[in-house]
Amino acid sequence: MSWVGKSAAEIAEAVRRGRVTAPAVVEAHLQTIAKYDERIGAFRKVRTERALAEARAVQGRADLEALPLAGVPVAIKDNVAIRGEAMRNGSAATSNSAATEDHPVVSRLRAAGAVIVGITNVPELCLVGFSDSVYGVTRNPWDLKRTPGGSSSGSAAAVAAGMVPLAHGSDGLGSLRIPAACCGLVSIKPGQEVVPAPERDWHGMSENGPLATTVTDLALALAVMAGDMSLATPGESESLEFGSAIDDYPGGLTPAEPVKLRIAMAPAPLPPGFAVDAEFQRAVVEAADTLGAAGHTVVEHDARMPGWLGSAAIAAWLACARQETEGLDPRRLEQRTRSLAKMGRLLARIGMDGSAGRDRWRAYGADQWFGNADVLITPTLAAVPPPVGRWGRRGLLPNVRTNVTYAPATAAWNMAGWPAMTVPYGWHSTGMPIGVQLVAAPGGESQLLALAAQLESAHPWLRHAPLD
């Protein structure tokens, strides 16, 4: 029996119960990576020998029967520290020295029994929604001519291609939700202080989180990353710690049915000047109808976000580019990165770094615009993923124009610090998956996961792209 293509929950249950060993599972996934990654380009580094050694160590653990992710192969985005590995952040200008300690998220994944099989590709310094860097170009498994999005590009592509069941990513202005939507996955950006953030947290806008093919896997991975196993079963209050009796995890931790919620449907919420593909708008309406049929109250949200928010988000993005390049040799940076950072410096000189708009939106603007709903549903993207290519060799205008044209719908919730996620819902006429975005106020992660589970149950999606 092949364990490639199985969910993380199924794999972990089988390893805990002795139906398969962690080394066998990891070896099978490494073989899949070797078979497909030359075409996809998801990984900057595959940790073949180290991963097998770590799998053997997991198999020998005395607490194997209590590990939520026992033997589950996991990929890590190249912007958090992994002990013994260099963190390059998609750039030739960063240090090639190996990290001496794991980032807390990596530590928690290891403690839960996960095995780190590789480090995934990102665009330079994780600054854009594309998938190219000096380490290669990552392609979308659903259409190799299109980008898988970014900046968690390699992580999304690896999961969508079935090379790993789970991956880590981070989201500063949409960098989990954008690639997940491009690749037909579920992903969640938690609110602030739920999961330990990246070391460089972009003024509180960036959060670590998981990408998965099922809501059960997503909830389980988020629970591990957060150190709060109650998130694995949204709607239930009991909190499980590692070491608790978990033999009855059902090979899936199915989120409990949520209470009836007031859901605001916003098919075209973007500020004036931003357009949303009509098929994406229709998917939002249909997904809202599905939740309405499940008993929730659905109301229309016709108001567009304020124009100043769009300007502030772009300014904040460019300010992060300026900040990320400080101390790096500009001669080793790509043209795109230099251009973004230069514009960030120019805007900073006239006091336009997006901070005033971010603080205004975070303090009261988001809450006022959100209204009295419990959850908001919007498109995740505004257009289908653009063509893959070496966008890093292009200048400011093509990169900014393409980014804000296809992926402008996520940044507002990083600016607010609120939890948001994307769920696959249908197919575009181009053959690409469509994602719908669910947003809740702080503390609403469990609500989002429970609603996503209802959408998954009513409207299942293909979990992996057909590569053969």
**Residues identified as active-site:** 77, 151, 175
Q: Are 17 and 92 a contacting pair, CB within 8 Å?
A: no
Closest C-alpha among 446, 424, 426, 447 to residue 435:
424
Cis, peptide link before residue 230, omega less than 30° from 0: no
H or E stretch including 178? Answer: helix 177-183
Q: Are 246 and 240 a contacting pair, CB within 8 Å?
A: yes
186-189 and 262-265 strand pairing:
unpaired
b vs e for 325-347, b when ≥16 Cβ sit within 10 Å of the residue's Cβ? beebeeeebbebbbbbbbbbeeb
Q: Tell me how crowded residue 349 is: count the other CB atoms within 10 A of its CB.
A: 8
Burial class (CB in 10 A: 0-12, 13-18, 19+), 126: buried
203 DSSP 8-state letter: T
For 113, the token pair is 């029994």
- Reported as half-sphere exposure (CB side, CA atoms, 13 A), residue 185 has a value of 41
Q: How far apart are CA 411 and CA 357, in angstroms?
A: 12
Q: Are 449 and 211 a contacting pair, CB within 8 Å?
A: no
166-171 and 375-379 strand pairing:
unpaired
Residue type at position 419? P
Q: How far apart are CA 87 and CA 54, in angstroms?
A: 19
